[in-house]
A = this chain, B = another copy of it.
């Protein structure tokens, strides 16, 4: 059965028998904790190799009480932005000998389930990417296990989260546009009930105010944070009015959709209207025109997220640094068309 390489209930007992030691000793050398006499050690290792032993994590975790796994719940598994965070977290974790269990949670309900499942899986720590649940509820669920919230200020590790200041980021983006001479600037927003979207909106309004410009609700549209949202958002904006010369788009994915809408409307970017995105997703460098955007230090945030969790796991404290988004100027923004020669307003399609 066994010699034939069939089923594999190869346990430390098998190894112990083959190496002529006790199971406890096998456990010890396999885990490299306490010292074991060299000869026995090699014997055990040899036996393990010969038997093609594969430890049973379930048993190990159950016995030790630790799972060496941290869970991560994110809005979507498949996303240019969250994907980068995922990759970063996974890399860091693996480098530290931890495993990652991911879970996609698009809405509050799924998020609750996901969190619950992770806890059930006995994860040692949790990384929550943005998330929509209120602080209190999450805190209550995770209890004492180390957790961090990324891309959301209201964290639950030592009182703070890991995120860039979206308000400030939006302000920087707006300043760029303002400095280029734009006055009528539209804002294509993600769902306002999501903190990042509303924070960016706040920054947008704030920047406008700072420049002495009256915010115009008619210049703001709200759609999903997706390419599929950017297109209709921009289309709607163009339907309403075409006198804006620049638009700040809530994230790069929407910006891509917006770019297409603009082209469909025969408007050139950046000659006719400047577009600035947010996130600095990979594709922004390759789309045409390459997109000016606000870069979020995703890798750094991932690194800090993992580091803070592992630190807490070791009983240490960890001070969360703050992050800022930086402007990456590419080719989708340019000087505002001369005020003297305003782009002729086209006749609106409806009424």
Contacts and interface: CB of A to CB of B under 8 A. Distances in A.
Interface of A: 5-8, 54-59, 61-62, 67, 76-80, 83-84, 86-87, 90, 99-102, 104, 116-117, 119-122, 143-144, 227, 230-231, 256-257, 259-260, 263, 282-283, 285-288, 290
B122 A56 contact: yes
Contacts of A56: 62, 120, 122
23 contacts: A5-B143, A6-B144, A54-B119, A56-B120, A57-B122, A58-B67, A58-B122, A77-B90, A78-B84, A79-B83, A83-B83, A100-B102, A101-B101, A227-B282, A227-B283, A231-B286, A256-B283, A256-B287, A257-B286, A260-B290, A263-B288, A287-B287, A288-B288
Contacts of A286: 227, 230-231, 256-257, 259-260
Contacts of A256: 283, 286-287
How many copies the complex holds: the figure is 2
A252 to B, nearest CB: 10
Contacts of A231: 286
Contact of A116 (B54, B102, B119): B54
A296 to B, nearest CB: 15
Given A83-B77, A99-B121, A7 B58 contact: no
Contact of A288 (B99, B121, B260): B260
B55 A58 contact: no
A7 B120 contact: no
A88 to B, nearest CB: 9
Contacts of A117: 99
Contacts of A260: 286-288, 290
Nearest to A257: B286
